[in-house]
Amino acid sequence: MATSGKNLSQYSKDSIPSASSFTFGIVVSEWNEEITSALASGAKKTLLDCGAREINVHTHWVPGSFELPTAAKMLIDSGDYDAVIAVGSVVKGETDHFQFVCQAVAQGVKEVSLNTGVPVIFCVLTDNTIEQARERSGGKHGNKGIEAAVAAVKMAALRKKLH
């Protein structure tokens, strides 16, 4: 595996624009809350570390990952957000439910971002086991919430630059 033994969540603040002028939404699935809480925490801490003001980082919880695209669209429709991070965790079970949910969420996040022009960052873990999810939400592979926050800052800055 390409990520074996690697922490992919390290970043250099020198390579990231300041987040001080942006407002961010973080929509978080309640399902697999152990994982999603860690991802959301990593994202928020990183946004603040990159200069975002605490008052400009808003976290909203939704029942499950399937609801993330709708929640992201609601936040964007308010006109208050420069970027949204969609945080979820879907762990494969014994049925095809995993594939349907993962596909729908990925498509939904993409569609909201493309249709609105506001960056929606996909921070949904799609792991085979809960152990793999733990490794990617603060374990040996880092915290994907950190990576999502860095992407959100960079995309918000690009959007501002191009507008």
Q: How many residues are there in the chain?
A: 163
The span from the CA of 72 to the CA of 162, in Å, is 22
The span from the CA of 118 to the CA of 107, in Å, is 15
The span from the CA of 142 to the CA of 71, in Å, is 26
Q: Beta-carbon neighbour count of residue 100 at 10 Å?
A: 12
Strand 83-91 relative to strand 120-127, pairing:
parallel
The span from the CA of 97 to the CA of 95, in Å, is 5
Please provide the distance, in angstroms rounded to a whole number, between the alpha carbons at the two ends of the chain.
40
CB 118 within 8 A of CB 83: yes
Please give the DSSP secondary-structure letter assigned to residue 125: E
Catalytic (active-site) positions: 97
